[in-house]
Structure 1
């Protein structure tokens, strides 16, 4: 089973929920900054990614993806629109994971990591990592910084945590208020250029993305000959640092 640079120590600590959120800046756990991926590396692949969940439209979105034989990548927050430990949110996370889609970290509360201290960055990272691990048994390998913002301190913190940082090279602009028609036109323009790979940013919290744009994008991307895969597959990397058994809910499952 593959391990990243965070390796056996952190995984073992995470499994027993004993790692603290702050990590000393001079920590010897890892001296490697996180790799940053803004595009896929496997030719002819497209990774459709979705930020800001788990949210209300997730069942519709996952069902669209499943119905078209596509696996997506979901970057979850811990306490943004709502608490990830709410039973409805737990059920959504499990539905995504059990359907074979990839889950990554979008941090706990969607704060701009570049404005935070070292300890605050780790707290934002650890709390959502712990939540995903508790709910699914999987320890995330990818972190998408809110707003796509990162600095060297964020990369160092991610490296210590064994994660890669993932941004994007195409934005559907749904979070900027683009209409479904505009987002579809953006996908059309992208496909007409036919880049070798595409790492697409969408937002799970935008209902029109679920009901119209994603189905349209999938059909046209497939029609252009692309393979639609998860982020790790488009990078040729493992999906998670570690996969174990989910935890049992207890009183610590709270925001």
Structure 2
């Protein structure tokens, strides 16, 4: 698959190609998705990694015949270029899970300038392409926060925005028991679809809540798929070969 023109031009130059145009000029605006559209599908998503529990989460999903979506930061809980962490990112991708952008340093994009928003986006896009060979088509803004400037910046980068309609609460102090109860409540109401927010950085999510949620969701008749699959969209703008690490792979 060929690179989209803007993405390829940007990566080839290594510079912020989009910053020269005024954000006031008409431009493509990213679509924001908060719900899946494919019936009986659930997208389990995991934010804020890569982190220590990534491989175990992947293995749990694999054992259940499920697919997840990982929204990665470049430098939040750890540097994505760290040898161990980049290996985990590649492991998730190689096992058929979707990898996507959560921006570089988990800043609130609505507080940033046009150039700063692009910087937060392109650095993690570049890292994911270097590590996996795939150029992401999806971004989740930190805290789910976006405005017109963020949507415009994502749009010219060829990205769609994916938020959620169910939050397990694991990043805001919910205990494992509380997160399980939240899953019980949403499953009990049996919506047609669920787009679920979880956090890869929480051990209770990885080892307690996730196995429970998978079992309950499957028992309720849901198929566990990626964000792209639950929306009938492409996961990546392009797919190629991973690159060889060099001196530029650092945080």
Q: What TM-score comes out, normalization by structure 1 length?
A: 0.94
- After superposition, the C-alpha distances for 1:176-215 in whole angstroms (9 at most, x for unaligned) are 1111111011000001111111000000000000111111
Q: Hey, what's the Cα distance between the residues in 2 that align with 1:128 and 1:54?
A: 12
1:106-117 mapped onto 2 (5 Å cutoff): 106-117=102-113
Q: Hey, what's the Cα distance between the residues in 2 that align with 1:21 and 1:103?
A: 24
Q: CA deviation at 1:21?
A: 6.2
1:88-237 mapped onto 2 (5 Å cutoff): 88-237=84-233
Q: What TM-score comes out, normalization by structure 2 length?
A: 0.96
Q: CA deviation at 1:46?
A: 0.3
Query: How many residue pairs were aligned?
Result: 251
Gaps of 5+ in 1: none
Aligned to 2:70: 74
**Inter-CA distance 21–178: structure 2 relative to 1 (3 Å threshold):** farther
Q: What secondary structure, in the 3-state scheme, does the structure 2 residue paired with 1:74 have?
A: strand
Q: CA deviation at 1:239?
A: 1.2
Aligned to 2:55: 59
Q: What secondary structure, in the 3-state scheme, does the structure 2 residue paired with 1:200 have?
A: strand
Q: CA deviation at 1:43?
A: 1.1
Q: CA deviation at 1:245?
A: 1.0
CA contact (8 A) 1:30 1:160 kept: no
Q: CA deviation at 1:18?
A: 3.0
Q: CA deviation at 1:168?
A: 0.3
Q: Hey, what's the Cα distance between the residues in 1 that align with 2:228 and 2:197?
A: 15
Q: What secondary structure, in the 3-state scheme, does the structure 2 residue paired with 1:165 have?
A: strand
Q: CA deviation at 1:8?
A: 3.1
**Inter-CA distance 218–108: structure 2 relative to 1 (3 Å threshold):** same
CA contact (8 A) 2:74 2:80 kept: yes
Q: Hey, what's the Cα distance between the residues in 2 that align with 1:152 and 1:66?
A: 37
**Inter-CA distance 86–29: structure 2 relative to 1 (3 Å threshold):** farther
Report the aligned-residue RMSD: 1.8
**Inter-CA distance 29–86: structure 2 relative to 1 (3 Å threshold):** farther
Gaps of 5+ in 2: none
Q: What secondary structure, in the 3-state scheme, does the structure 2 residue paired with 1:83 have?
A: coil
